[in-house]
Amino acid sequence: MERVGDIDFTSLRIGKKFQPSPVAWEDQVLYFLLLDRFSDDQEQGYRGNDRKQVTGGHTPPYDPAIDNGNAVTNQADAAAWRQAGGGWCGGNLHGLTSKIGYLKRLGVTALWLSPIFKQVAFQPTYHGYGIQDFLSVDPHFGSISDLRKMVQTAHANGIYVILDIILNHSGNVFTYAVENGEPPWRGWTYQVAGFNDKHGKASLPFVGYAQNPLPMDRDDAIWPREFQDPANFTQKGRIKSWDNDPEFREGDFFDLKDINHGCGTDSNYSPSPALLNLCEVYKYWIAVADIDGYRIDTVKHMDIGATRFFASAIKEFAQTIGKENFFLVGEITGGRERAFDTLEATGLDAALGIDDVQPKLEGLIKGKTNPEEYFNLFRNSLLVGKESHVWFKNKVVTMINDHDQVCKGEHKARFCATGDGGKLALGALALNAMTLGIPCIYYGTEQRFDGRGDGDGADRYIREAMFGGGFGAFRSKGRHFFDEGSDLFHELSEILRLRDKKLPLRRGRQYLREVSGDGVNFGLPRVLGGRMLSVVAWSRILDKTEMVLAINTDPDMARKAWVLVDAGLHPAGSRLKCVYSTHHADEGTLALTVQKKGAAGDIAAIELEVPAAGFVVLE
């Protein structure tokens, strides 16, 4: 289609039964992947969607004993490996479709997919955030029919699909006529040399398509045609100060061109033609591919009124086709208070927990921060201007790795990059899955990807290719990582199955528990001497059911501890049963509840043991 006006929503809906939304998104386990870095459908020796061994393809599985570092054995090879990570690697929709079974067996119930839209032709925007055509799938990834098939396969396997979308900006579709084409934001508009052609030259008139006398190739400028209007862009140059308002709302995101959404107050916003067309574009993708939710990029850089208008338009359209709980999650940087205020003002369902959650979760597991710093993120009402408890059970998407690592500044690295990260990865994933929020696994984390490169913190190193190719994980090439026999994959799948089975683990209230080494003196674990090596325990309570969970931040030694439980739910002599332990021989064992005298009255406690770097669940 060349125009937004060509979309025929009636024909897209006739005779089609759309996938209903889940009842509660906090019940789901998300998995985020960069499509270009996931699978090229050329792997061999993995289990297909039907569980059978796949023998086709030319890429064998990774063997850590011989393949680690096979791409960097000399300087020339290392340079080629680094260069491969900066461009298209070859992942596609066919490959993703072939790995839906892998995700299902891991325990994933919702797939978050990087943008699939057509990118500018002259730049290697493999990540998908430089859109040139909002109504087409990028040919690197496949076609619309490939997208439909992937979604249908996911739905048939009980997996919802969330697309990553961009409202704030387009790709690098025009060039400024001043300062080498890249002026900084100064508060005024700049003269534009022209729309960029498919070679990146500003050779096309910067005028509306009706006034353009030159023929336009589908790789030129921006599509659909309604976006070929200068009024669609703010034209104020690139952002330099990321916290200066209105600079961060009006400026370009690097060379990605800022879209003019309109003007007005939050509650009385006047949408621009560009925003109205974006609403229609993203309704189209719901209708054509049966999408279940959107992750909206760079929400911080949009007017609140624009985000609210879009959220309302999408939610209302989704309801007309039976998606009553269509999911809208925003990338909202700037801390919890900003995120929560934005959610309340816009109607988005959840925010990505990329500011506070990641460093505090990692710090807890690695024994560098006190556990209450992480647990308080989900209930500290005063920090979001509330007078009573606010539980962020379904308002934040939590993860330990992601493709940007904004929270780490210039020192980007995956959880397993340094120290005991590899040993503690299961505890980190268990904590993420079994505490409040909507858990999300960043692709490769289940295989202990470390994101290590040259130590310069570049984005490419945390975006390794699962299928190997020229830029595989662990500085390798030509080997894939779809290993369902790995210990981490197996244990995580067991944990996620338990989460799916037990409602308190998905929806229960959450309490960090005091622990004791002697059964007499209780307190919250603390960092001592620079590192906390301790059992960290918490409870999830739903109605009259309490489940007790604990990790061990000691990577080398098992540790015992007394853990407080709810005395009203557990009278003296009652027992809790171990339903999961990384030392599986402990499963089925019982922990006796003991009544003790505390400063504020009777308390109840149980004694438990957690394996080194391990995780246990009692019911």
Alpha carbons 308 and 299: distance in angstroms, whole number: 11
Assess whether pLDDT exceeds 60 at residue 381. Answer: no
Q: Looking at the structure, tell me whether residues 474 and 552 fall in a common domain.
A: no
Structure confidence by residue, pLDDT tens digits, 69-93: 999 999 999 999 999 999 999 999 9
Q: Among residues 447, 444, 443, 448, which one has the least CA distance to residue 422?
A: 448
Assess whether pLDDT exceeds 70 at residue 450. Answer: yes
Mean pLDDT of 435-443: 96
Structure confidence by residue, pLDDT tens digits, 144-157: 999 999 999 999 99
Where would I find the H helices in 176-263? 247-250
Q: Looking at the structure, tell me whether residues 68 and 145 fall in a common domain.
A: yes
Q: Looking at the structure, tell me whether residues 487 and 543 fall in a common domain.
A: no
Cis peptide leading into 224, omega within 30 of 0?
A: yes
Q: Looking at the structure, tell me whether residues 479 and 426 fall in a common domain.
A: yes
Structural domain count, the chain: 2
Q: How far from 313 is each of 147, 277, 283, 327, CA to CA, in Å?
A: 23, 11, 8, 13
Alpha carbons 355 and 405: distance in angstroms, whole number: 9
**Tokens 């925007």 belong to residue:** 125
Q: Looking at the structure, tell me whether residues 542 and 491 fall in a common domain.
A: no
Q: Looking at the structure, tell me whether residues 411 and 494 fall in a common domain.
A: yes
Assess whether pLDDT exceeds 90 at residue 436. Answer: yes
Phi, psi of 94 (to 5 degrees): -60, -45
Q: Looking at the structure, tell me whether residues 338 and 479 fall in a common domain.
A: yes
Q: Please report the beta strands in 302-437, taking only residues with DSSP state E, as ranges in sequence order.
A: 327-330, 350-352, 396-398
Structure confidence by residue, pLDDT tens digits, 482-500: 999 999 999 999 999 999 9
CATH number for the domain including 68?
Answer: 3.20.20.80
User: What domain range is 267 assigned to?
Assistant: 4-167+261-500
At residue 222 the predicted structure's pLDDT band, cuts being 50, 70 and 90, is very high
The answer to the question of residue 206 being in a domain is no
Q: Among residues 103, 58, 182, which one has the least CA distance to residue 468?
A: 58
What is the model's pLDDT at position 326? 98
Domain closes at, from 454, 469, 500:
500
Q: Looking at the structure, tell me whether residues 449 and 549 fall in a common domain.
A: no
The answer to the question of residue 289 being in a domain is yes
What is the model's pLDDT at position 121? 96
Mean pLDDT of 115-130: 97
**Tokens 């990118």 belong to residue:** 119
Cis peptide leading into 246, omega within 30 of 0?
A: yes
At residue 613 the predicted structure's pLDDT band, cuts being 50, 70 and 90, is very high
The answer to the question of residue 214 being in a domain is no
The answer to the question of residue 53 being in a domain is yes
Strand order of the β-sheet with 590-592 is 509-513, 535-542, 545-552, 615-618, 575-581, 590-592
At residue 555 the predicted structure's pLDDT band, cuts being 50, 70 and 90, is very high
What is the model's pLDDT at position 564? 96
Q: Looking at the structure, tell me whether residues 600 and 527 fall in a common domain.
A: yes
Q: Looking at the structure, tell me whether residues 466 and 517 fall in a common domain.
A: no
Q: Looking at the structure, tell me whether residues 534 and 465 fall in a common domain.
A: no
Mean pLDDT of 28-32: 98
The answer to the question of residue 246 being in a domain is no
Domain closes at, from 469, 500, 531:
500
Look up the pTM and report it.
0.97
Q: Among residues 170, 173, 154, which one has the least CA distance to residue 117?
A: 170
The answer to the question of residue 210 being in a domain is no
The answer to the question of residue 178 being in a domain is no
Domain closes at, from 461, 480, 500:
500
Q: Looking at the structure, tell me whether residues 448 and 585 fall in a common domain.
A: no
Structure confidence by residue, pLDDT tens digits, 173-211: 999 999 999 899 999 999 999 999 999 999 999 999 888
CATH number for the domain including 530?
Answer: 2.60.40
The answer to the question of residue 191 being in a domain is no
How many residues comprise the chain?
A: 619
